[in-house]
Amino acid sequence: MRLAALSAAIVPLASLQAEDGYDLWLRHAPLEGESLARLQAHDGEIVALNPDEPTVALAISELRAGLDGLLGKADRAAQTGSYTAFRFDCDHPAIAPGGAFRITPADRLLSIDAAEPVGCLYASYAILRELGQGADPSTLALDSAPAMPLRMLNHWDNPDGHVERGYAGRSIFDWWHLPERLDQRMIDYARANASVGINGVVVNNVNARAFMLEPRYIAKFARLADAWRPYGIRVYLSARFSAPMDIGGLTTSDPLDPQVAAWWRAKADEIYTAIPDFGGFLVKANSEGQPGPQDYSRTHADGANMLAEGLGDRGTVIWRAFVYSAEDETDRTKQAYAEFVPLDGQFADNVIVQVKNGPLDFQPREPFHPLFGAMPKTKLMFEGQITKEYLGFASHLAYLAPLWKEVLGADTGRGGPVTKSVAQVIAPAGMAGVANTGSDRDWTGSDFDQANWYAFGRLAWNPALSSESIAREWAAQTFTRDPQALGTITAMMQGSREAVVRYMTPLGLAHVMDTGHHYGPGPWVCDLARPDWNPCYYHRADGEGIGFDRTPAGSDALAQYAPDVTAQWADPATVDPRYLLWFHRVRWDRVMPSGRSLWADLVHEYDAGVAAVDALARDWQTLAPHIDAQRHRAVAENLAIQQVEARWWRNASLAYWQSLHGLPLPAGAAPIPESLADYQRRAFPEAPGQ
């Protein structure tokens, strides 16, 4: 039966060989038909002015290997003809430095120009990306430059191999065996990053261990830096602010103490001796129990500037704005703005302040962070979370480009007569993504989560790309080039994050997940020691209504946005319903624009989310003829988990809201199969990533 179905669809068997996802989007599966014929006609020698320079050599070898894959050549060293088909000039004066490249087609020749070798490497990957989607090499013209200088991954990986908020196995970094042993994965990882333009990697958790600054670790970082340098990737470290005391024998870490500053300067010198192109430090300070300058009544600027001076013009301090304090009782979403805006203009030139996409914490949906646009004299960097701590871990399909695009494209309402979008605000600095990689064979814990790594890099290169086009190019390289199948996959991806929002946190709700591991619903959690760790703090639901009043009558967090932005969100009658309960407290019986009550609208949202996941599972089934069985099954199994868990979110959340107001479910809504107590009893002490 199954064979008959396969042959009926005339699917080439080669593309259906079992795959385990290890090759990511760099599979370079053989082309077919016309696109294959066109590439065969074009193929020839690859030449470069300086072919032995390590990065140029990579640009050539990556292009050759990729072309051979696309051409279906089993023998990768196969003879390629006697004329030049690709010519690299990686020292071209007319191209801007920083990774830009230009590809110009002529008669059976692609000229590739860049100012630096890394631009040529990026060009190789771009050519393969285009050809891999069936582009015609004889007309392939590209002029591309990165939109921002820093395109980074932040690994929350601990030295013992555990990954905080990691859902793809253990850490990919084998610190125990470094520097002597360098896993091949470290090279494959660098290729994957370079192929989407990622050029910086923070290798350890922001909740940092000070001992990672000891000499034995510096040797390990140096080995990685050497391996990644040809791929244009610089190593950065998370630094624990109290390191001078923890490992340096000092009695203080006060940033204004000359001994402390001298300790960090010496530490920086030591690192630069081993890693001449070391990127710099990432610091989480005075946040969630981490030490910082405020322990000495100093400011974030005092702390950051002291470290920046130690690095000098050799590197950058990336200082996180994710701060909120146990003692501060103001709305948690207001605290970063309140602490950082007064410091605008005080940070040294080589300091960047890294701001999460929203003011809370990587929720399925948040409005953009009010700091974007509010610190015009400071370089601000965007921090997104590629790993899906709050969006169903690795088993739920949630393509995150639409989430990031929503923020990058937001108009901050600030920046002059022509106001700036978030993407424009961060352009002088960059984007950081909390990595979702791990030791799992497929790297990211699921096939579709690879798309989030890919999309993050592509958006950091060019935030103007549409999430749809990124999904399509990723899927074409990862799964299949069949146009109809691609249309289905792209549509699935495009709607997937919204589905998660609807069954987890509809209408602007946030932070309603269970405690600690953040797996599954826990809107009933109200008794944690810190108020701002309780879901109840965020949804504020009772018998009358639900939602966080952030208008002037409430916390007035709205006032942190520019007036035009505030105006869009100020009125519960006109606010975009996606942000309704984020900014407003609304009565359960309020009549909504739909004509239904808020309660009925909320039920509708949860149900729409569940239905959307059912549709994802159905759509995926139709793709069986186009996807190799191993990956098809893996995705199908994840979708089955998601179907169950979407219902869990819906039912547990509704049971809790109902326990507050006692209203019946609207007519036609599916009954809730278990009692609230049953949902509350579920416990997952072993959930990953904690």
Provide the minimum distance between the beta carbon of 156 and ligand BDP in the complex, in angstroms, as a whole number: 7
Provide the minimum distance between the beta carbon of 153 and ligand BDP in the complex, in angstroms, as a whole number: 14
Provide the minimum distance between the beta carbon of 530 and ligand BDP in the complex, in angstroms, as a whole number: 13
Per the CB < 8 A criterion, the answer to whether 388 and 394 are in contact is yes
Residue from 361, 449, 482, 645 carrying the catalytic annotation: 361
DSSP SS3 for 364: coil
Residue from 45, 130, 226, 288 carrying the catalytic annotation: 288
Closest CA to 242 of 191, 207, 201: 207
Provide the minimum distance between the beta carbon of 305 and ligand BDP in the complex, in angstroms, as a whole number: 21
Provide the minimum distance between the beta carbon of 5 and ligand BDP in the complex, in angstroms, as a whole number: 45
What is the longest distance spanned by two Cα atoms in the chain? Answer: 80
Q: Which two tokens stand for residue 79?
A: 């003879």
DSSP SS3 for 238: strand
Which of residues 384 and 547 has its CB atom nearest to ligand BDP in the complex? 384
Please report where in the chains the tokens 């953009």 appear, as a residue: 368
Question: In this structure, are strands 109-114 and 101-106 parallel, antiparallel, or unpaired?
Answer: antiparallel
Q: Pick from 24, 206, 403, 499: which binds ligand BDP (CB under 6 A)?
A: 206
CA distance 425 to 372: 7
Provide the minimum distance between the beta carbon of 510 and ligand BDP in the complex, in angstroms, as a whole number: 12
DSSP 66-96: HHHHHHT-SSTT----SSEEEEEESS-TTS-
Q: Is the peptide bond before 179 cis (omega within 30 degrees of 0)?
A: yes
Q: Pick from 389, 449, 473, 498: which binds ligand BDP (CB under 6 A)?
A: 389
Tell me which residue has its CB nearest to ligand BDP.
361
Which of residues 240 and 631 has its CB atom nearest to ligand BDP in the complex? 240
Provide the minimum distance between the beta carbon of 618 and ligand BDP in the complex, in angstroms, as a whole number: 33
Which of residues 66 and 303 has its CB atom nearest to ligand BDP in the complex? 303
**Kind plus residue range of the DSSP H or E element containing 621:** helix 598-622
Per the CB < 8 A criterion, the answer to whether 66 and 28 are in contact is yes
Q: Pick from 28, 92, 102, 165: which binds ligand BDP (CB under 6 A)?
A: 165
Residue 288 annotated as catalytic: yes
Q: Pick from 27, 28, 223, 284: which binds ligand BDP (CB under 6 A)?
A: 284
Which of residues 28 and 518 has its CB atom nearest to ligand BDP in the complex? 518
CA distance 565 to 345: 24
DSSP SS3 for 664: coil
Please report where in the chains the tokens 């002291």 appear, as a residue: 306
**Kind plus residue range of the DSSP H or E element containing 354:** strand 351-356
Provide the minimum distance between the beta carbon of 689 and ligand BDP in the complex, in angstroms, as a whole number: 8
Please report where in the chains the tokens 């995150």 appear, as a residue: 400
Which of residues 206 and 493 has its CB atom nearest to ligand BDP in the complex? 206
Closest CA to 44 of 22, 71, 24, 18: 71
Residue 552, judged by CB atoms within 10 A of its CB (0-12, 13-18, 19+), counts as exposed
**Kind plus residue range of the DSSP H or E element containing 48:** strand 45-48
Q: Pick from 207, 330, 346, 494: which binds ligand BDP (CB under 6 A)?
A: 207
Residue from 389, 447, 607, 645 carrying the catalytic annotation: 389
DSSP 267-311: HHHHHHHH-TT--EEEE--SSTT---GGGGT--HHHHHHHHHHHH
For ligand BDP, the binding residues in 358-377 under the rule CB under 6 A are 361-362
Which of residues 125 and 322 has its CB atom nearest to ligand BDP in the complex? 322
**Kind plus residue range of the DSSP H or E element containing 498:** helix 483-504
DSSP 376-416: TTSEEEEEEE-S-TTTTTTTS----HHHHHHHHT-B-S-SS
How far separated are the first and last CA of the chain, in Å rounded? Answer: 45
Provide the minimum distance between the beta carbon of 205 and ligand BDP in the complex, in angstroms, as a whole number: 8
For ligand BDP, the binding residues in 474-533 under the rule CB under 6 A are none
Provide the minimum distance between the beta carbon of 383 and ligand BDP in the complex, in angstroms, as a whole number: 8
CA distance 513 to 531: 15
Residue 468 annotated as catalytic: no
Q: Pick from 164, 295, 556, 614: which binds ligand BDP (CB under 6 A)?
A: 164
Residue 361 annotated as catalytic: yes
Which of residues 153 and 275 has its CB atom nearest to ligand BDP in the complex? 153
**Kind plus residue range of the DSSP H or E element containing 143:** strand 142-144
Sign of torsion over alpha carbons 239, 147, 467, 137: negative
Does position 241 interact with ligand BDP (CB under 6 A)? The reply is no
For ligand BDP, the binding residues in 305-334 under the rule CB under 6 A are 322
Size of the site for ligand BDP (CB under 6 A): 10
Distance of alpha carbon 247 from its chain centroid, rounded?
Answer: 32
Active-site residue list: 288, 361, 389
Interface residues with ligand BDP (CB under 6 A) are 164-165, 206-207, 284, 288, 322, 361-362, 389
